Amino acid sequence: MEGKFVFCARREAGTRMARPASARRAVRGETFRMAEAYAKADGKPSGTGYTRDMISVLRALPVQQIRLLVFDLDGTLIDSRKDLVNSVNAMLVEFGRQALPEEIIASYIGDGAGMLVRRALGDPHNEALVEDALEHFLTWYRAHKLDHTHVYAGVLEALAALRPIADGGGERSMAVLTNKPVGPSVAICEALELSPYFFQIYGGGELWAGE
C-alpha cells in the first residue's frame, strides 16, 4: 500500500506531548485513519487500540511559520515515467541490448540518471561503457522528455493554494530540488507551466549527486 506521511512518530511509553487539544484531535484523527489502513494492509488487528499504541503525532505542524517549500520533481509534481522508460530502452537498443519491461526500468528510477543507466545495463564494471550509454540516454531524453510527461492532476491548483500565507502574511518561497539534470528539469517546468511558482529549480550536479 503506497502513501506518504508528513509528520508521524512512534510514541514511547511514559512520554508526554504538549499540544493544543483542538490540533491534537484534528491531526490525530487523520493519523489514526491512515494507520488503520496500513494496519489492514499489513494484516494487523484494526481498531483504535492498535493505532493509539503505534502512532501518535508529537505536535501540530506550524503552517503559518513555513516560509519555504521545496519539492521533488519526478513522481511528485510530474509523471515522467513513460518518457524515462522509453529513453532507457532507446539507449539499450542502440547498444545492442534487449529492451526491458516498463516495470523493471521504473524500479531503477530515483537515484539520478547515471544510476538509472547503470542499473539498466546490469551494473557493469566498464565505466567507459556507462558514461557512453549515459550520454546516449540523455541525448534521447532531451529530445523526448515531453512526449508523455505531464503534471499530476491537482498540482497546479495545490501550488497556487500553498503560495500565499494566510492573514496577509505574504507569500511562501517555493523551489524544486531534483537529481534530474538541470537542463531538462527547467525545460519541463517551463513547458508544463510550473516555473512561475518556483524561484529556483535545482538539478542534478548543482548541489550534490542525490536528493
Q: Which residue has the higher pLDDT, 92 or 17?
A: 92
Residue 10 has a pLDDT of: 35
| Strands of the chain, DSSP E | 68-71, 78-79, 150-151, 173-181, 200-204
CA distance linking residue 126 with residue 94, whole number of Å: 17
C-alpha grid cell, residue 187: 525545460
- Picking from 140, 160, 141, the residue whose alpha carbon sits closest to that of residue 149 is 141
Q: Which position among 53, 72, 123, 167 bears the catalytic label? A: 72
Contact present, 202 and 182 (Cβ < 8 Å) = yes
CA distance linking residue 107 with residue 121, whole number of Å: 14
pLDDT tens, 32-70?
555 555 556 556 555 545 445 555 666 667 777 889 999
Q: Poorest-confidence range of 3-12, 113-122, 133-142, 193-202?
A: 3-12
Q: Which residue has the higher pLDDT, 179 or 20?
A: 179
- Catalytic-residue membership of 42: no
Residue 42 has a pLDDT of: 55
CA distance linking residue 74 with residue 168, whole number of Å: 32
pLDDT tens, 131-186?
999 999 999 999 999 999 999 999 999 999 999 988 878 999 999 999 888 999 99
